[in-house]
Amino acid sequence: MVKAFRERRDFLVKSFGELEGVKISEPQGAFYLFIDFSSYYGIEAEGFGKIENSESLCRYFLDKAQVALVPGDAFGDDSCIRISYAASLTTLQAAFERIKKALFSLRPAVPV
């Protein structure tokens, strides 16, 4: 069981750590991560509205990626979102891909 949780944690830390504008540190305990997505605050999401804080970003992820996350302001840190890794690795991999796609759509288009 410990090995499975370590594998899930390592997958999420590595995967989110590779995303532009996302800050993450490896947790020392528990089965959740606090991930700093604050670089996405202030962005206007097409068909959704402005991403203003952790609560609105969690609503955005639920709407666009069908992934339920917990706003960090509930834990005293509005720059972060809490994600549990108590789900299976397969479920976490699928959720990460959907979150990544949702984040990618928030990035401004690069002029050609």
Question: Are the C-beta atoms of residues 62 and 20 closer than 8 Å to each other?
Answer: no
DSSP secondary structure string for all residues of 5-72 = HHHHHHHHHHHHHTSTT-EE---SSSSEEEEE-GGGTTPEETTTEE--SHHHHHHHHHHHH----EEG
- Domains of the chain plus CATH, in order, are 2-104 (3.90.1150.10)
Cα(102)–Cα(96) distance, integer angstroms: 10
Per-residue pLDDT of the chain (112 residues; tens, 9 = 90+): 889 999 999 999 999 999 999 999 878 778 899 999 999 999 999 999 999 999 999 999 999 999 999 999 999 999 999 999 999 999 999 999 999 999 999 876 444 4
